[in-house]
Amino acid sequence: MKKKSYTTFAAIHLGSEMISMQIVEYRNMNKVKVIEQCNHRVKLGEETFKNKIIPFSMVSEICELLQGYKRLMSEYGVEECSVQATTAVREALNQVFLLDQIYIKTGLKVKVVDMPQEIYTKYTAIRQTLRSEGINGKDYGMLLMDISSGGLGITFVDDEKIKYQQNFHVGIIRIKESFNRNQRNGMQFNLALTEFLASTMGPVREALKDANIRYLILSGTETELLLQMLGLDTQAKVTRIKAEEFMELFNKVHKLNLPQIIKVFKIKESVAELVLPTILLYEQLLALVPTKEIIITADRFIDGIQLLHIGPKTDKEYAAELEKEQLSLIHNIGEHYNYDVKHAKQVERLALAMFDKLSKSHGMDEHCRTLVQATALLHDIGKYISMRSHSLYTYKLIMSTDILGFSDNDKKIVALASYYHANQLFENKAGSPEMEKELTPLVAKIAALVRLADAMDRSYQQKIKFCKVSIKDGTMLIEAKSKVDLTLEEWTFAGKATFFEEVYGLKAILERVSE
């Protein structure tokens, strides 16, 4: 029997308005064939945003639908599968019961992604589409705005680096459900909603005031409605529009009431109710940046699930590209808090030298490597607020920052490791952050590496130009090449090595080797 030359993968998305499945056959990220697509409209978002729960009747409907998807997966011989849920499930108070029911009735394990992960998943698909169109952000700026039913992600890319990223709980359906029907039908609704959105966008306007932006990239559920109202192809992968066309549409809609909107644009009342929040939100977004051209992409969250599943495992260059772009945002966060870039990069380099020798034998994967890098780069940002209590403020700053592609758990690991690189793990000092028991091993492993790497640059002079790490007979030996004296680094390293020995079960020795 001839061996299959492709793998069959299914991506399922439990969204706020749609439950979708896409089945593909792939060899690598450039050879992907879609063999099945299913979309079933639901009102998860309306229920969650209004009542904070998903009712039992809808839970049953979801499980029945997923059972049908599971049968299709079996028919197509699906070998790999990823089921992910976004805003509506994420915010439902009865989320745990829904996930349990889905698992019991279908055997499917649902991953509930946090907002920075959700925006990042879409972002990767959009960036791939833009590159295929020759729009890569090199030597110019692009502002990507992804609007979903419950959220808004704003990402500024300049010279292929992520320079700014913020996420807001300002989606179209969420806006609609924030006001009751009487308020929405009132004479002052336009003004109230405009002021509401303007106040929300204020910090973004300030952050981007000096940005040089060539393209405004729009994506999200309601872009299809926008294209329909503009009389354009709603199925096009990429649509380019002049800003004036947008403004003409905005001015037209402002003069219409709900019945007129239904008649003029030939849309249902349930859809027409979303028109005004959509138009006003886009108006506010366009007011943020003076741009002549707007690009709308048709990329969906499910496309990002597929890309992130296939791309990194079949293309090392793409995986490296993703890592580089993600780290560019972490560097930008560091710059915002005036981090010492040379020291941060030195700590990162030294920590990774140890990690790469230890990871395999201590159960740490590539994702852990990214968390080590993030910790090394951000471990000192709390000095922006307080030199005396910098590790505590580092923890607080990281926890209050969205990091594109990081889950809340990832962020907590980085924040805790940054705190414990300078504090004792089990001393229970007043004001120290709480740590879940299951996070302790990984936090300790990362903190121990960053603690030693930080000690190796105690003078902040980057004295060590190269180091060789070897492990033998229960000892990790670091041979550091340097032309200058390392007495301060050696003494600090010796004082910090005990924690490493407790965590890794290895003695740590730093030895200077002349260049």
For 23, the token pair is 């089945």
Tell me if residue 312 falls in helix, strand or coil.
helix
Do both 488 and 473 map to the same domain?
A: yes
Q: What angle is formed at CA 271 by the lines to CA 270 and CA 277, rounded to 5 degrees? A: 110
Does residue 2 form part of some domain?
Answer: no
CATH of the domain at 79: 3.30.420.40
Predicted pLDDT at 135: 85
Distance CA 401, CA 116 (A): 10
Do both 344 and 486 map to the same domain?
A: yes
Indicate the residue among 113, 142, 162 that finishes a domain: 113
Do both 55 and 141 map to the same domain?
A: no
For 1, the token pair is 């029997």
Q: pTM of this prediction? A: 0.87
Does residue 410 form part of some domain?
Answer: yes
CATH of the domain at 268: 3.30.420.150
Question: Could you say which residues of the chain have pLDDT below 50?
Answer: 1
Q: Which residues pair with 513 in a beta bridge?
A: 481
Do both 23 and 75 map to the same domain?
A: yes
Edge to edge, the sheet with strand 18-28 lists: 31-41, 18-28, 7-14, 80-85, 110-112
How many other CB atoms are found less than 10 A from the CB of residue 472?
8
Q: How many domains does one find in the chain?
A: 3
Do both 127 and 187 map to the same domain?
A: yes
Residue type, 363: G
Does residue 125 form part of some domain?
Answer: yes
Do both 402 and 463 map to the same domain?
A: yes
Distance CA 507, CA 501 (A): 5
Do both 29 and 90 map to the same domain?
A: yes
What are the CB-based long-range contacts (under 8 Å, 24+) for 326-330?
326/120, 326/162, 326/370, 326/404, 326/405, 327/370, 327/373, 327/374, 327/377, 328/160, 328/161, 328/162, 328/163, 329/162, 329/163, 329/165, 329/403, 329/404, 330/373, 330/374, 330/377, 330/378, 330/403
Indicate the residue among 59, 91, 113 that finishes a domain: 113
Predicted pLDDT at 189: 66
The four Cα atoms 504, 509, 512, 515 give a dihedral, to 10 degrees, of: -40
Do both 294 and 369 map to the same domain?
A: no
Do both 426 and 387 map to the same domain?
A: yes
Does residue 285 form part of some domain?
Answer: yes
Predicted pLDDT at 272: 76
Do both 138 and 96 map to the same domain?
A: no
Residue showing tokens 């990767």: 124
Are the C-beta atoms of residues 469 and 357 closer than 8 Å to each other? yes
Give 363's DSSP letter.
Answer: T
Predicted pLDDT at 182: 60
Predicted pLDDT at 213: 86
Does residue 310 form part of some domain?
Answer: no
How large is the greatest C-alpha to C-alpha distance in the chain, in angstroms?
82
Indicate the residue among 300, 324, 358 that finishes a domain: 300
Does residue 353 form part of some domain?
Answer: yes
Do both 30 and 149 map to the same domain?
A: no
Q: Which domain holds residue 178?
A: 116-300
Predicted pLDDT at 137: 72
